[in-house]
């Protein structure tokens, strides 16, 4: 296996608040990596650093073998990094299909029939085909999350970043969305998924990392990480042995 993404000592501070403290890890091609950590730990900021909407203070980011540290967000998007947002951000006055077409044309650079074909294929995968002509603003929360996935996938990503996509869903809705994400993973897309709904995350990811105060404090096999003293300390307030 080769790494699709490499963070090497990536750091970022806003004044006294450090959101990324020398973050270093690799994501292997086709891997699904879960990210957990308390509120305000710097998880979304890490996505902003990976996509390029937030410039790092120091460190290096390598994507698909290219140093992208100084590349713009638009360039990174065109080379295959796509994300979903914690709060869905569709064009509410446009239909589901029109939202998908914007991603296919602007992010994947497709035109005409080719763009339409991709959108239809992705809408089928994300189970939104029957709602292709519905206005995005009229969708239920689950379908807005599905539209977030659709828009990201229409950019033809090699790396898909999911930011708390399971939040606010019922158990049944969550199960249905998890199956869709499993299918996306099975199709070969590399995934990094930030999620507070841990059981959803554990149903999909191959590996887990824990971020606290911008620092990577634990990583490894999901079960081992969930049982680790770092996670016990952060979530249960249990003091580690000296």
Ligand X SMILES: Nc1ncnc2c1ncn2[C@@H]1O[C@H](COP(=O)(O)OP(=O)(O)OP(=O)(O)O)[C@@H](O)[C@H]1O
Q: Which is nearer to ligand X, 42 or 52 (CB)?
A: 42
Among the listed ranges 11-19, 25-33, 61-69, 154-162, the one in contact with ligand X (CB under 6 A) is 11-19
Site for ligand X contains 14 (CB under 6 A): yes
> What 3-state class would DSSP assign to 5?
strand
d(C-alpha 108, C-alpha 195), whole Å: 26
**Closest alpha carbon to 90 in 141, 43, 50:** 141
Q: Which is nearer to ligand X, 23 or 155 (CB)?
A: 23
Site for ligand X contains 19 (CB under 6 A): yes
Residues 195-214 that bind ligand X (CB under 6 A): none
Q: Which is nearer to ligand X, 87 or 186 (CB)?
A: 87
As a whole number of Å, the CA-based R_g of the chain is 18
Q: Which is nearer to ligand X, 44 or 84 (CB)?
A: 44
Site for ligand X contains 16 (CB under 6 A): no
**Closest alpha carbon to 63 in 149, 135, 188, 157:** 157
Q: How many helices (H) and strands (E) does the chain have?
A: 9, 10
Number of residues interacting with ligand X: please give it, by CB under 6 A.
11
Residues 31-60 that bind ligand X (CB under 6 A): 37, 39-45
Q: Residues 77-116 vs ligand X: string with x where CB under 6 A?
A: ----------------------------------------
**Closest alpha carbon to 148 in 80, 204, 84:** 84
CB of 2 to ligand X, least distance (A): 28
Q: Which is nearer to ligand X, 30 or 38 (CB)?
A: 38
Q: Which is nearer to ligand X, 14 or 133 (CB)?
A: 14
The residue from 17, 87, 186, 238 that contacts ligand X (CB under 6 A) is 17
Length of the chain equals: 242
Buried b (16+ CB within 10 A) or exposed e, 49-69: bbbbebebeebebbbbeeebb
DSSP state string for 201-224: HHTT-SEEEEEETTEEEEEESHHH
Binding-site ranges for ligand X (CB under 6 A): 14, 17, 19, 37, 39-45
């Amino acid at each position: 296996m080769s790494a699709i993404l490499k963070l090497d000592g990536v750091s970022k501070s806003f004044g006294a608040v450090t959101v990324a403290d020398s973050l270093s890890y690799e994501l292997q091609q086709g891997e699904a990596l879960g990210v957990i950590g308390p509120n305000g730990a710097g998880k979304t900021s890490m996505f902003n650093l990976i996509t390029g909407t937030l410039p790092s203070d120091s460190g290096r980011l390598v994507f698909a073998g290219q140093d992208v540290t100084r590349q713009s967000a638009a360039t990174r998007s065109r080379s295959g990094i796509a994300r979903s947002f914690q709060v869905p951000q569709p064009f509410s006055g446009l239909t589901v299909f029109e939202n998908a077409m914007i991603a296919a044309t602007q992010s994947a650079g497709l035109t005409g029939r080719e763009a339409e074909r991709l959108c239809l294929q992705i809408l089928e995968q994300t189970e939104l085909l029957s709602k292709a002509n519905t206005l995005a603003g009229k969708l239920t929360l689950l379908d807005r999350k599905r539209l977030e996935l659709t828009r990201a996938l229409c950019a033809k990503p090699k790396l898909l970043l999911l930011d708390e996509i399971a939040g606010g869903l019922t158990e049944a809705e969550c199960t249905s969305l998890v199956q869709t994400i499993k299918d996306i993973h099975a199709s070969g897309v590399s995934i990094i998924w930030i999620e507070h709904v841990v059981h959803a995350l554990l149903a999909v990811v191959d590996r887990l990392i824990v971020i606290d105060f911008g620092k990577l404090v634990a990583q490894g096999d999901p079960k081992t990480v969930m049982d680790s003293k770092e996670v016990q300390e952060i979530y249960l307030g249990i003091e580690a042995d000296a």
